[in-house]
Chain A
Amino acid sequence: MRKVYGIQLLLLMLAISILAVAPVRSQQKKPVVIAIPVGLSGVNSVVAPAVVQSAQLAADELNAKGGILGQPVRVVPLDDESGPAGAVKAFNTGIRQDKADVIITMETSAARNAGAPIAERAKVPFIYTSFYEGRACGEYLFVNAWVPEQVVPPLIKFMIDEKKVKRWFAVGSDYAFGRGMIEAAKKTIKDMGGTILGEEYQPLQQSDWTAIISKIRAANPDGIIYSTSGGGPNIDFLKQLKAAGLTMPIGSLSIDELTAEAGGNAAEGVYYTGDYFTGIDNPENKSFLEAMKKKFGAELKTPNALSEQEYDGLHAYAMAVERAGSTNADAVIKVLPTVVFKGPRGSVQMNKQHHAPLPIYLAQVQADGKTRVLKNFGLIDPGDQCPKLK
């Protein structure tokens, strides 16, 4: 009897000790959860897989260094269906169910406008990693990609100074972003003493640009500036322009590396600006691209101007948490503007009203559709995006 009692006591003590230790152990292991509501379906589904891959690489790198404040990093991709309704679901799932510490993602503007207030109310920091039309503000909202003020003026200035384009023709797709970009371009052209011979907008669904091309031919400008919706419409317009035999310098506010390459020689000679190109020549970009290739192999989605910023976003957040000493949202957003992450784009700091001055590059599409980076304009300021914020 006595002996049996002893064993029971021993078991009881063991059980108590396990119970006592268990919460401590689980607290040490509690991961830092990074939610990524992104358009896995819908219009953004072309680019979304690359965004998720960027996040996965950054998470691997952070975990290899022991995580953030010793806690492992977990990324949770969620489908926002590229629109506002899906974004509301994805943000709620990420915040309530997955208990996200932060949201870092690239989304459509409509999805962001729907999701940002949810993050704001729940007091969850939200780092938006897509270039956009500008002026989205919130206490918990930070942006590490470009706004029109950063990419439009350098492109126009280059074409006026170096390509001697004085008389312009402006072409856009008939939607908010296309019109906004053309407005920004017109303002820069006027400020620099250029003239605008014509301005035309094409309905989004229409892929025959004949009438606009004939108007351009009749106006005979020195150069063209255009902004269609992303992807296909760029190639529709450029193919038809080329077939019509118009050869003046063209500046694009809507083309990207993948689209240019898919267009073959259609986009040959087109100038465009941006904060990220695979051809940026610096050690950080080289090691980023190598690491992506090593991690994903044949599954790799080519990193691009909408996906690389996700990688920067995770690293900047990790640095902010380390500096704040906790994942507490208010502590993190306080130090986030002080963090500088030197990544593939260069050094990026979100210190201008929650936006970031960015290194902006000029690139040109080559005959084989590949993009070549011509020069680095250096850090370009986003201007007054959110005057109410610091």
Chain B
Amino acid sequence: MYTIQLLDIVTTAGILYIVALGLLIVYGVLKIINLAHGAFLVLGSYAAVIATWLDWSPWSALVIALVGGAAVGAVAEWRVLRDLYVRPLDTILATWGLNIIIVQSITLYFGREIQFAESGVTQAVSVGGVTYSLYRLILLLIAAVLGVLVWLLMRRTQIGIVAQAVIMNEELAQALGINTRLVRFVTFCLGAGLASLAGALITPLVSVHPNLGVPWLINAFMLVMVAGVSLGNLALAALILGGAQVLVSSYGNPVLGSLTIIILAVIILRFRTITT
């Protein structure tokens, strides 16, 4: 029982981390909450549906999702968000509007009914004496890999270092001749692409329909509120909040469990010292 709960906690944290990563990156650099994050998740899920239609490997959906999400993100940043950064409150309205536009477009084309998407992995494996979902373990691994990749991107590449400069002090960065506009554009595309990738990654666990993004958006939002702009904090928050949700659901019930993330987030925010 304890082995299962341990696995439940770490894999739930891994999934939460994957889902929240794109939102965190956009929040960190652009200082806006991308409420279209849920819609990008949905886009990624439908990438898996398209891969199934084309009879491609389920893993190719990940590439379609990443590229497609980044492309839609690019258009959205260019046409909608670029001029709104000076009015942060308006970006909430704009990204929520974007969310509605993307979800409704998908509904118009695919309909509201659930769609079938092939999964690459459906079997269970034996871990420490219990059988457990292989795909959840793979997601844990992917979460770790994504974490390291994004960390390397931020620390070891030119664009990452420039992005850090923008995060720390935007005006100074601008004064030093950094093209903050380009940094924002690339970051939003990356965030949208990662959100889409997350959508494709969770597809083997859930059914694909136009509203699947909403509950994930809420959890991702809570995690980012707690974690701020740090990747390490995000992993910690996913582990604490996800773990609490699993434990409350297991020893209490899932109705209480689903409230856990929100309640804990509120408590942590109340007592957290501001570190930005």
Binding site for B on A (CB under 8 A): 45-46, 174, 200-203, 205-208, 210-212, 214-215, 217-218, 231-236, 239-240, 242-245, 258-259, 261-265, 369
Cα of A232 to Cα of B258 in the assembled complex, Å: 18
Interface pair A46/B116, CB less than 8 Å apart: no
A201-B253, A203-B258, A218-B1 known; A239 vs B131 contact (CB < 8 Å): no
Given known pairs A231-B113, A243-B122, A262-B114, the reply for A214 and B250 (CB within 8 Å) is: yes
Residues of B within 8 A of A205 (CB): 214-215, 258
In whole Å, how far is B37's beta carbon from the nearest beta carbon of chain A?
A: 16
What are 17 inter-chain pairs, A to B, with CB distance below 8 A? A46-B112, A202-B254, A203-B258, A205-B214, A210-B11, A210-B12, A211-B245, A212-B249, A231-B207, A231-B209, A232-B114, A232-B209, A239-B122, A243-B121, A243-B205, A244-B132, A245-B132
Q: Which residues of B contact A258 (CB under 8 A)?
A: 113
Among A46, A203, A231, A265, max chain B CB count under 10 A is at A203
| Of listed A205, A233, A259, residue having the most chain B CB within 10 A | A205
Instruction: Decide: B114 and A218 in contact? CB cutoff 8 A.
Output: no
Q: Verify if B204 is at the interface (C-beta below 8 Å from A).
A: yes
Taking a contact as CB atoms under 8 Å apart, the answer to whether A214 and B5 are in contact is yes
The answer to whether A259 and B114 touch (CB under 8 A), given A214-B4, A243-B122, A243-B204, is yes
Q: Which residue of B lies closest to A44 (CB)?
A: B112
Q: A259 to chain B: which residues have CB within 8 Å? A: 114
Q: Known: A208-B205, A233-B207. Contact between A243 and B136, CB under 8 A?
A: yes
- Determine whether B246 belongs to the interface, using a CB cutoff of 8 Å to chain A: yes
A92 to chain B, nearest CB (A): 26
Write the chain A residue with the least CB distance to B211: A232
State which of B15, B131, B207 has its C-beta within 8 Å of the C-beta of A208.
B15
Nearest residue (CB) in B for A215 is: B250
Could you say which residues of chain B place their CB within 8 Å of the CB of A174? Answer: 254-255
State the CA gap A46–B107 with chains docked (Å): 11
Chain A residues whose C-beta falls within 8 Å of the C-beta of B254 in the assembled complex: 174, 200-203, 206, 211-212
Q: Across the interface, do B207 and A210 meet the contact criterion of CB distance under 8 Å?
A: no
Q: Residue-by-residue, is B119-137 near A (CB-CB < 8 Å gives 1, otherwise 0)?
A: 1011110000011111110
B161 adjacent to chain A (CB < 8 Å): no
Residues A243 and B4 in contact, CB atoms below 8 Å apart: no
The answer to the question of B104 belonging to the interface, with a C-beta cut-off of 8 Å to chain A, is no
Say yes or no: B255 contacts A244, CB within 8 Å.
no
Q: Which residue of B lies closest to A217 (CB)?
A: B4
B1-22 residues with Cβ-Cβ distance < 8 A to A are 1, 4-5, 8, 11-12, 15
Please name all residues of chain A whose beta carbon is closer than 8 Å to the beta carbon of B113 when the two chains form the complex: 46, 231, 258, 262
**Residue in B130, B135, B246, B257 whose CB lies within 8 Å of A243:** B135
CB-defined contacts of B133 to chain A, threshold 8 Å: 240, 243-245
**B181 to A: closest C-beta gap in Å:** 37
Q: Is the CB of A210 within 8 A of B246?
A: yes
- B119 contacts across to A, CB distance below 8 A: 239
A207 with B112: CB separation less than 8 A = no
Interface contact B204-A239, CB-CB below 8 Å: yes
- Complex contacts, A263 vs chain B, CB 8 Å: 114, 116, 207
**Cα distance, A212 to B12, chains bound together (Å):** 13
Q: Does the CB pair A211–B250 fall under 8 Å?
A: yes
Contacts of B12 in A (CB 8 A): 208, 210
Chain A residue contacts of B215, Cβ below 8 A: 205-207
- Determine the chain A residues whose CB is within 8 A of the CB of B130 once the complex forms: 217
Which of A201, A202, A215, A243 is the one whose CB lies under 8 Å from B134? A243
User: Least Cβ distance of B9 to chain A in Å?
Assistant: 9
CB of B249 within 8 A of CB of A211, answer: yes
Known contacts A202-B254, A206-B258, A259-B114; A232/B124 CB under 8 A: no
B111 beta carbon closer than 8 Å to chain A = yes
Q: At the interface, yes or no: B190 with Cβ under 8 Å from chain A? A: no
Asked if B118 is an interface residue, CB under 8 A from chain A, the answer is yes
Bound: A232/B134 CA distance, A: 22
